[in-house]
Amino acid sequence: MAITSHLREGVHLQLTEARNFCSETESSCSDLRRRLEECARSRKPERAGDGVAGRYHLLPGDAFETDFGSGYDLVLIPNFLHHFDPPTCTTFMRKVHSALEPGGRAAIAEFVPNSDRVSPPMPDAFSMMMLANTPSGDAYTFAELENISKDPGFARVELAPTEIGLKRLVIVYR
């Protein structure tokens, strides 16, 4: 099993849990250049003694420029897409699609407003924050995330039935 992840809060814990689930888990991590450099300095799994040393790899560069390689079973995309406009997200998802094995999946954790874009309250408020604080980010509805994922060739997109805290999990299948 191989996992690539965007280095946001809690991702180290997610990777540790994946290792506990499957002791052969390998992970390769990419993010925006500045976040990757911060993580390289401050979150070395080797220091945590959690058993992932040698199976945790930081991909150099920026998630939009770095070659992810191929052969991944699962790609985690927590709290990432909301920073960018739909065409940029679609381009990124095309890279994810290329990196996945046939039958592989990507798990997108995001605030997902309902189609009315005003409920529930937290994704609605988060959408306003993204519109005010990013050049082109937004909290995307499920239909928008489905388009962002299907345009690059993902076969199926599902909204997981329960919330993860305040976020929703969208599973896309290659």
Q: 70-174 has which fold?
A: Rossmann fold (3.40.50)
Q: d(Cα 143, Cα 33) in Å, to the nearest integer?
A: 29
Q: d(Cα 149, Cα 71) in Å, to the nearest integer?
A: 19
Q: d(Cα 138, Cα 127) in Å, to the nearest integer?
A: 5
Residues 6+ apart with CB under 8 A from 91: 64
Whether residue 5 is predicted with pLDDT greater than 80 in this model: the reply is no
Q: Which residue has the higher pLDDT, 133 or 23?
A: 133
Radius of gyration of the chain (CA): 16
pLDDT of residue 99: 93
pTM to 2 decimal places: 0.79
pLDDT in tens, 46-74: 445 556 566 667 777 778 888 888 988 88
Name the band, by pLDDT with cuts 50, 70 and 90, for residue 1. very low
Find the mean pLDDT for residues 138-152.
97
The domains of the chain are located at 1-66, 70-174
Helix, strand or coil for residue 120? coil
Picking from 53, 58, 78, 54, the residue whose alpha carbon sits closest to that of residue 68 is 58
* 170, 112 Cβ separation under 8 angstroms: yes
Start-to-end CA distance of the chain, whole Å, equals: 15
pLDDT of residue 172: 97
Mean pLDDT of the chain: 79
Say if residue 169 is exposed, middle or buried (CB neighbours under 10 Å; 0-12, 13-18, 19+). middle
**Can you state the percent helix, strand and coil of the chain, rounding each to 5?**
35, 25, 35
